[in-house]
């Protein structure tokens, strides 16, 4: 874990960071973002002591980093920058093995690690190991930069706008590759960008900064749905949910108290419940609130002369979604199965809520109407 405790940085009369407090969890990718001059890159460079704070402390796994030799600290933290920073007179192999060499790894172990990482970033070692940086494209150079950052298997990787100088297609491809790498390797990554699309695409959590302060630090979904203030709302874009509806989850739009009944209820009781609640269907649950199925007013009318209780007639095969499924999943299911409602259940099939077409319309109207 990385912890900033009351970090202040001043240059002369200018205060760049104004009491930063934040915690970055193990194995999460945190994005620092904000306008130019907000302090995001300064904050990043303090983690490996390229910049020292004027006051305050930074801790890694509970240890004050000001008490760690900066050279040793940096050799245990991966670092990827916008300019890539490959040494032009060294081959790809030599660039990747640089930190393991400084850490006195045996030659055989270094070569094995280089080959492993080149395969990991999609660059076959037999084709690229002996090339020089000038013989690579910008995207290939940045892949080697990522491989070099991973070479000594650090727990922490710092990335300072690593893809911003690349063309849009290459940039998008590398973002996907980084996301997949993180799923495999589970490193703690601190990533600086000025691009909100990139932040939303990559970040487990996003730290939005302004004028040397943290304005909001939360998950992409929470920031999109509940921006802390007008600055955050304008910075992320007020209509971004239209562009990225996958961040709206089933739990955000579901009715949390749907009408339900035990299967032992009589048909007469079911009709009374529907009438009093203004609905034409009831979700059927057991005493533990596990979803069993659904019964509709039409079902009751069709069976009123042959059945007495809900358990005799309710529909057992019901399509459901999980609370963290996106609105896109819900809409796709409704369209494919031609249904107007979807119960929301957890992993134990406990009923959490209900999504109806009218609930969807109400949510979209409330959040996107001018």
Contact 100, 154 (CB under 8 A): no
Bigger pLDDT: 53 vs 245 = 53
Indicate whether 242 and 110 sit together in one domain: yes
Alpha-carbon distance 121 to 176, whole Å?
11
Rg (C-alpha) for the chain, rounded Å, is 27
What percent of the chain has pLDDT above 70? 94
pLDDT at 173: 84
Alpha-carbon distance 123 to 347, whole Å?
40
- Range of weakest confidence among 120-134, 175-189, 266-280, 349-363: 349-363
Place of tokens 């209780």: 309
pLDDT at 363: 67
The number of helices, as runs of H, and strands, as runs of E, in the chain is 17, 15
Place of tokens 């070692």: 125
Domain's final residue, options 247, 270, 286: 247
Residue 129 neighbours by CB under 8 Å, 6+ apart: 91, 92, 93, 114, 115, 118
Contact 285, 260 (CB under 8 A): yes
Structurally, the chain folds into a number of domains equal to 2
Indicate whether 27 and 136 sit together in one domain: yes
Indicate whether 18 and 105 sit together in one domain: yes
Let me know if 200 is exposed, middle or buried by CB neighbors in 10 A (0-12, 13-18, 19+): buried
CATH classification of the domain holding 271: 3.10.580.10
pLDDT at 252: 82
Place of tokens 């240059």: 11
Give the tokens for residue 328: 């896109």
Indicate whether 11 and 130 sit together in one domain: yes
**Crossing angle of helices 327-337 and 357-368, rounded to 10°:** 140
Indicate whether 25 and 135 sit together in one domain: yes
Global pTM reads 0.68
Closest by Cα among 41, 49, 48, 47 to 16: 41
Alpha-carbon distance 45 to 232, whole Å?
24
Domain's final residue, options 214, 247, 280: 247
pLDDT at 41: 94
Alpha helices in 51-129 (DSSP H): 70-75, 92-96, 98-102, 107-120, 125-128
Highest mean pLDDT among 3-7, 173-177, 220-224: 3-7
Give the tokens for residue 40: 């995001």
Alpha-carbon distance 265 to 259, whole Å?
13
Strand partners, 209: 214
Indicate whether 169 and 21 sit together in one domain: yes
DSSP 3-state assignment of 94? helix
Q: What is the pLDDT of residues 244-273, one digit of tens each?
A: 666 678 888 888 889 999 999 999 999 999
Residue 150 has pLDDT above 50, yes or no: yes
What distance lies between CA 38 and its chain's CA centroid? Answer: 22
- Range of weakest confidence among 2-11, 102-111, 303-312, 361-370: 361-370
Highest mean pLDDT among 24-38, 152-166, 237-251, 320-334: 24-38
Q: What is the pLDDT of residues 323-356, one digit of tens each?
A: 989 888 888 888 888 888 899 999 999 999 999 8
Indicate whether 162 and 257 sit together in one domain: no
Alpha-carbon distance 192 to 340, whole Å?
43
Indicate whether 98 and 215 sit together in one domain: yes
Indicate whether 243 and 174 sit together in one domain: yes
Residue 243 has pLDDT above 80, yes or no: no
CA atoms within 13 A on the CB side of 301: 6
Q: What is the pLDDT of residues 83-119, one digit of tens each?
A: 767 888 999 999 999 989 988 999 999 999 999 999 8
Alpha-carbon distance 343 to 295, whole Å?
13
Indicate whether 18 and 52 sit together in one domain: yes
Alpha-carbon distance 363 to 99, whole Å?
52
Contact 280, 237 (CB under 8 A): no
Residue 290 has pLDDT above 90, yes or no: yes
Q: What is the pLDDT of residues 203-227, one digit of tens each?
A: 999 999 999 999 999 988 788 778 8
Indicate whether 304 and 202 sit together in one domain: no
Domain's final residue, options 247, 272, 289: 247
**Domain residue limits at 283:** 251-368
CATH classification of the domain holding 131: 3.40.50.300
Alpha-carbon distance 258 to 274, whole Å?
11
Indicate whether 243 and 266 sit together in one domain: no
Alpha-carbon distance 359 to 362, whole Å?
5
What distance lies between CA 339 and its chain's CA centroid? Answer: 30
Strand partners, 159: 80, 191
Residue 238 has pLDDT above 80, yes or no: no
pLDDT at 348: 94
């Amino acid at each position: 874990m990385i912890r900033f405790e009351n970090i202040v940085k001043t240059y002369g009369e200018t205060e760049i960071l104004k009491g930063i407090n934040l915690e970055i969890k193990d194995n999460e990718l945190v994005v620092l973002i904000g306008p130019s001059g907000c302090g995001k890159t300064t904050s990043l460079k303090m983690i490996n002591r390229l910049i020292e704070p004027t006051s305050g402390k930074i801790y890694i796994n509970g240890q004050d980093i000001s008490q760690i030799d900066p050279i040793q600290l940096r050799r245990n933290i991966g670092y990827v920058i916008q300019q890539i920073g490959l040494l032009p007179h060294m081959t790809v192999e030599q660039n990747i093995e640089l930190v393991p060499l400084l850490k006195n790894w045996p030659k055989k172990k270094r070569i094995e690690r280089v080959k492993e990482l080149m395969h990991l970033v999609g660059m076959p070692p037999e084709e690229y190991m002996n090339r020089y940086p000038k013989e690579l494209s910008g995207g290939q150079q940045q892949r080697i930069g990522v491989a070099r950052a991973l070479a000594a298997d650090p727990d922490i990787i710092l990335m300072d706008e690593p893809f911003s100088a690349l063309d849009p297609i290459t940039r998008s491809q590398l973002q996907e590759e980084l996301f997949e790498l993180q799923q495999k390797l589970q490193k703690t990554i601190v990533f600086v960008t000025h691009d909100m699309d990139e932040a939303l695409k990559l970040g487990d959590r996003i730290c939005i900064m302004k004028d040397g302060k943290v304005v909001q630090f939360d998950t992409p979904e929470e920031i999109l749905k509940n921006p802390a203030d007008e600055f955050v709302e304008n910075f992320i874009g007020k209509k971004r949910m239209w562009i990225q509806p996958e961040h709206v989850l089933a739990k955000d739009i579901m009715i949390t108290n749907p009408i339900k009944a035990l299967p032992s209820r009589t048909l007469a009781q079911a009709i009374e419940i529907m009438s009093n609640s203004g609905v034409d269907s009831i979700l059927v649950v057991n005493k533990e609130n596990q979803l069993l199925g659904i019964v509709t007013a039409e079902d009751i009318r069709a069976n009123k002369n042959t059945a007495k209780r809900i358990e005799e007639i309710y529909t057992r095969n019901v399509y459901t979604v999980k609370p963290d499924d996106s609105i896109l999943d819900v809409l796709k299911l409704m369209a494919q199965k031609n249904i107007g409602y979807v119960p929301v259940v957890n992993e134990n099939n406990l009923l959490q809520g209900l999504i109806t077409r009218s609930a969807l319309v109400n949510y979209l109207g409330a959040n996107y109407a001018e």
